[in-house]
Structure 1
Amino acid sequence: MYQFAELDWTGSHDTVVVGIGAADAVETGLDTLFNGRVKSLIQSADISTKTGEVSIVPTFEGNIKRVLFVGLGQRNDSSVENLRNWFGKVAKEIKGRGFTDVAVALDTFEPGVASLFAEAYEMATYEHPTYKSAPKSATPDVTITLLGDVNEADVEAGAAYGRGVNVARTLTMMPANILDAVALADYAVDLAERRGFSHRIIEKEEMEALGMGALLAVNQGSTIPPKLIVLEYNGAGDDAPIAVVGKGVTFDTGGYSIKPKDGIVGMKGDMGGAATVLGLFETLATTKPAVNVLGVIPATDNMISGDAFKPDDVITAMNGKTIEVLNTDAEGRLVLADAVTFAKTYEPKAIIDVATLTGGVLVALGTEVTGCLTNDDSLYEALETASRATNELVWQMPYFDVFIKQVRKSEVADLNNSPGRYGHMIFGGAFVGEFVGDTPWLHLDIAGTSERSAANYLGPKGPTGVMVRTLASMLEGWKR
């Protein structure tokens, strides 16, 4: 899709994208396309220099049909996030208007923004899959020529960030009768074989042999067997990996602690953590950071039947700890418990788990901020640094002994899976922490950020693919 060339105002393109600030001197070649009238077009408001506003103006001369101007104001608002959003806005204009031959004068925005443009373009032009009987109209192919001093590897990396997000979006959007645990495992195997990752699928019989009583309990009510999906990216030889564990509950009824009718709609997205892991691996295939990464996804649905697990059951996790089940709708932490324990058999440098775990994180932080727990402040600092670059906001929640004691409070077992309503987000994370031990650990609760209720410059309403870019950025900068 991308071509590369030097900036040449005498070249031939249907559309050229240009950033223009209020105080900018107009480049001679650009002004020539408008017979020297760019300043007068600005004065008449036919070209807007207001921050983020788009103006599309036909040219008067030359082989360029039109110029799409993006206003940069006084250029003091050209932050990474603003540029990403403006590039997303440009991408939507390109797609919406059916432009097929577009050149982007990147240096008129800021130096070194090629990766940002590619990332934004992939995300902004994405469309969710649908299952309507009438086929959608085909989108015309577009050729984008990036003008200026452009590093092609940066463009590939930016596009890979966007593609990883879109993989996670697509998987999260798929209905559970199409994407069940078996289909999710098949997708992971296909990804691994296409992209050159090692892979392993642990079946129910092996889970039983390993003693994964927590994951198996959640699966008891289902007719679809569970899968433990294991992917390995090797970028650092024999070095210990960073384990990324994603909750893969393909549909969550709540079990016998059943969800209300309004709350059960949308539970196909309860595998958002698994989608993040798979999107991350899609990105790693291109960015190739110098680290080893272990991906672990416990995949199952949480259904109701005569065989389903129940409140008051006592189950035994892979590490031998017993758990009193007080709430079958607190199932995500149960599947993560066994997945984290399994990940520890690889002796990882760190464990990061990602999950649509609790409604409590929505109450605490809303829909724009991912809640985090950690036992290692430097690990959180690395995440926070990466999140600032991607603008995927994170916030560290307290992880005190008072919460841990509540998780350990049971008269009949070592742990309980639901100490109560207050502090629920922290209890969910603290429960997973009981299976981490001394390994450096981050818990990311994306229940509030994995979906958006309205479209924005970088994508449609619905699944967001949150944390794919942040984790990819964090792993690229890994120095521990």
Structure 2
Amino acid sequence: MTFEITSNPLDKISSDAVLVFVFAGEDKKSFKPLAGFKYLDKILLGLLSKTAELEKFSGKRGENLLVYSSGKTLSPRVIILGLGKKSEFVGDDLRRAVGSFSRSMKKKLDSVSLTLPTNDEISEETIVIAQLVTEGLLLGGYDFSKYKSKDDKKGRVLEAVIISAKDDDRKEIIGGVERARLYSQATILARDLVNEQSAVATPSYLADLALSIAKKDPGRIKVKILNREDAEKQGMEAFLGVARGSDTPPKFIRLEYIPEKSNKKEKLAIVGKGITFDSGGINVKPGDHMSDMKMDMSGAAIVLSVFSVISKIKPDFPVLGLIAATPNLISGKSIVPGDVVRAMNGKTIEVLNTDAEGRVTMADSLSYAVKEKATKIIDFATLTGACMVALGEEIAGLFSNNRELADQIKKAALGAGENIWELPLEKNYKELNKSSVADIANIPNMRYGGAITAALFLQEFVGNTPWAHLDIAGPAFLTKGSDISEKGGTGYGVRTVLNLL
């Protein structure tokens, strides 16, 4: 998708359609047009207003209405797009509305022209407005069509976007477009990784991708891949216990970003759960939706996608990316309920359920981060169905032992439009994870509060390091899609991390 900025007015731009914006009326009976609508409506002698009234167009978020311009503009069509009520509007509503438009226009338009909402209209800086609109177009237009026949490929929506703007705004618009391109590129890589079949996206595939990322920027990014023997030497018995059931070689992936100059003593570790397919192991999952379990490496996808663009973000502190990658499969070698494994930090884990394997592998990843002297740790994991029950598909659960870190993540997520809700690390629930034969059990002795007890399990492996855990079981993979994502992998978490950096 190409982006062009021109000083030509909307009626003098040739494209398949012009996109204009309106707010919904507070009384649900009218709408409030923005500048682009007002300009074209005057050129078209009130045609937009009359058509919208005739069609009872309300301007709710994502609602769109097609109007033919009858040759009075160089573009034959005008599409009116609703942003919802101004009194309820936040920046993400613009991203989502444009994303909804982008999704609905797949295969229908090759080009679109528009003028951005102004600062006065939506109270955001021009660079932010440009970023929101561009992300909506790019993310909403995503389609994973790799395995479809050529005739059935939907492809990406739009080839060209033309933005009508004043020369004074050009620099900020370019900045917003370029930032959105970077964020969207990383998000789309994560989506592709999550949507890829597990026969392709193996631990070795992820390791090779990490190596290729480092090869593009050898001065800033270093990668180390630990095979089974290397992991054994590190004492990663928990990770390797889960890996026992598969003939696919496990890989522990360590990425490190090294800043050109660093004046801070900070060292951030980003840990991603990397179960490339989760059958449940001996505690096998039911057949319904098991095919979706290729998404259990969504945390790993976040880590790799962030590192694919981190050199362009240029944080001034070192960043570690850690992934314990393995499928969780069934064989005569599989870990079984009742087995005890020792994590890298020396704590023993009684495995009471092999379908709670992600936290077991992450025990070693988190222990490794502590060993590497990370000053902050953030982990992303599709960890519990309990979190989905509590928060649904579009909201991640946040747990943290550090108020400042939790607030930083919430602020970054808000800017990214990635919904998050903080849940408690209830210390009284620690008793539920007790084991009679080991230091800790991998499932609690009560069925309730599963997202909390899983987070408390992970906390056992971070010591006193400031740490945050994001349970992304819901938003990492959607069953029905959203305004900015089709069904499947969403790339949730990538833009939040990039905002943090």
TM-score relative to the length of structure 2: 0.87
Deviations 1:29-87 (A, max 9, x none): 53454246554445444976565432222324243333222245664344212211211
Deviations 1:437-461 (A, max 9, x none): 0000001111122221213221211
Q: What is the 5 A alignment of 1:142-157? A: 142-148=159-165, 149-150=169-170, 151=172, 152-157=174-179
1:159 paired residue number = 181
With over 3 angstroms needed to count, the CA separation of the structure-2 counterparts of 1:234 and 1:145, relative to structure 1, is farther
Q: Distance in 2 between matches of 1:77 and 1:324?
A: 49
Name which of 352, 357, 363 aligns with 1:326.
352
202-211 or 229-238, larger mean C-alpha shift: 229-238
Q: Distance in 1 between matches of 2:292 and 2:468?
A: 26
Q: What is the 5 A alignment of 1:283-298? A: 283-298=309-324
Name which of 413, 436, 459 aligns with 2:438.
413
Contact 1:241 1:294 in 2 (8 A): yes
With over 3 angstroms needed to count, the CA separation of the structure-2 counterparts of 1:380 and 1:49, relative to structure 1, is closer
2:261 paired residue number = 237
Matched, 1:16 2:28: no
170-179 or 85-94, larger mean C-alpha shift: 85-94
With over 3 angstroms needed to count, the CA separation of the structure-2 counterparts of 1:242 and 1:457, relative to structure 1, is same
Contact 1:47 1:69 in 2 (8 A): no
Name which of 252, 259, 266 aligns with 1:228.
252
Letter in 2 for 1:381: D
2:65 paired residue number = 55
2:295 paired residue number = 269
Contact 2:113 2:163 in 1 (8 A): yes
1:209 paired residue number = 233
Q: CA deviation at 1:241?
A: 1.9
Name which of 121, 124, 127 aligns with 2:137.
121
27-36 or 204-213, larger mean C-alpha shift: 27-36
Q: Distance in 2 between matches of 1:415 and 1:23?
A: 59
Contact 2:83 2:93 in 1 (8 A): no
327-336 or 229-238, larger mean C-alpha shift: 229-238
Number of matched pairs: 473
Matched, 1:80 2:91: yes
Letter in 2 for 1:167: L
Deviations 1:355-397 (A, max 9, x none): 1112222233232321222111221111122222233222222
Letter in 2 for 1:183: Y
With over 3 angstroms needed to count, the CA separation of the structure-2 counterparts of 1:195 and 1:69, relative to structure 1, is farther
Q: CA deviation at 1:469?
A: 1.7
211-220 or 136-145, larger mean C-alpha shift: 136-145
Q: CA deviation at 1:336?
A: 0.5
With over 3 angstroms needed to count, the CA separation of the structure-2 counterparts of 1:195 and 1:58, relative to structure 1, is farther
With over 3 angstroms needed to count, the CA separation of the structure-2 counterparts of 1:26 and 1:135, relative to structure 1, is closer
| SS of structure 2 residue aligned to 1:262 | coil
Contact 2:226 2:252 in 1 (8 A): yes
TM-score relative to the length of structure 1: 0.90
With over 3 angstroms needed to count, the CA separation of the structure-2 counterparts of 1:129 and 1:235, relative to structure 1, is farther
195-204 or 214-223, larger mean C-alpha shift: 195-204
1:69 paired residue number = 80
Q: Distance in 2 between matches of 1:136 and 1:285?
A: 37
Q: CA deviation at 1:410?
A: 2.7
Deviations 1:325-349 (A, max 9, x none): 2222221111101111112232112
Contact 1:198 1:231 in 2 (8 A): yes
With over 3 angstroms needed to count, the CA separation of the structure-2 counterparts of 1:95 and 1:362, relative to structure 1, is closer
With over 3 angstroms needed to count, the CA separation of the structure-2 counterparts of 1:159 and 1:5, relative to structure 1, is same
Q: What is the 5 A alignment of 1:131-142? A: 131-133=147-149, 136-137=152-153, 139=155, 142=159
Q: Distance in 1 between matches of 2:215 and 2:192?
A: 19
1:354 paired residue number = 380
1:278 paired residue number = 304
Contact 2:478 2:488 in 1 (8 A): yes
Letter in 1 for 2:210: A
| SS of structure 2 residue aligned to 1:437 | coil
Q: RMSD of aligned C-alpha atoms? A: 2.6
Q: Distance in 1 between matches of 2:195 and 2:393?
A: 18
Runs (5+) with no aligned partner, structure 1: none
With over 3 angstroms needed to count, the CA separation of the structure-2 counterparts of 1:436 and 1:23, relative to structure 1, is closer
Deviations 1:392-447 (A, max 9, x none): 2222222133222333x233322222223232222221111111000000011111
| SS of structure 1 residue aligned to 2:321 | strand
55-64 or 422-431, larger mean C-alpha shift: 55-64
With over 3 angstroms needed to count, the CA separation of the structure-2 counterparts of 1:171 and 1:12, relative to structure 1, is same
432-441 or 318-327, larger mean C-alpha shift: 318-327
Q: What is the 5 A alignment of 1:363-374? A: 363-374=389-400
With over 3 angstroms needed to count, the CA separation of the structure-2 counterparts of 1:52 and 1:332, relative to structure 1, is closer
213-222 or 354-363, larger mean C-alpha shift: 354-363
Letter in 1 for 2:333: D
39-48 or 119-128, larger mean C-alpha shift: 39-48
Runs (5+) with no aligned partner, structure 2: 24-30
Matched, 1:194 2:216: yes
Q: Distance in 1 between matches of 2:332 and 2:223?
A: 34
Contact 2:83 2:97 in 1 (8 A): no
Q: Percent of counterpart pairs with the same letter? A: 36
Q: CA deviation at 1:296?
A: 0.6
Matched, 1:218 2:242: yes
2:28 paired residue number = none
Contact 2:83 2:94 in 1 (8 A): no
Q: CA deviation at 1:260?
A: 2.4
Q: What is the 5 A alignment of 1:165-176? A: 165-176=187-198
Letter in 2 for 1:90: F
With over 3 angstroms needed to count, the CA separation of the structure-2 counterparts of 1:321 and 1:90, relative to structure 1, is same
Contact 2:61 2:93 in 1 (8 A): no
With over 3 angstroms needed to count, the CA separation of the structure-2 counterparts of 1:194 and 1:36, relative to structure 1, is same
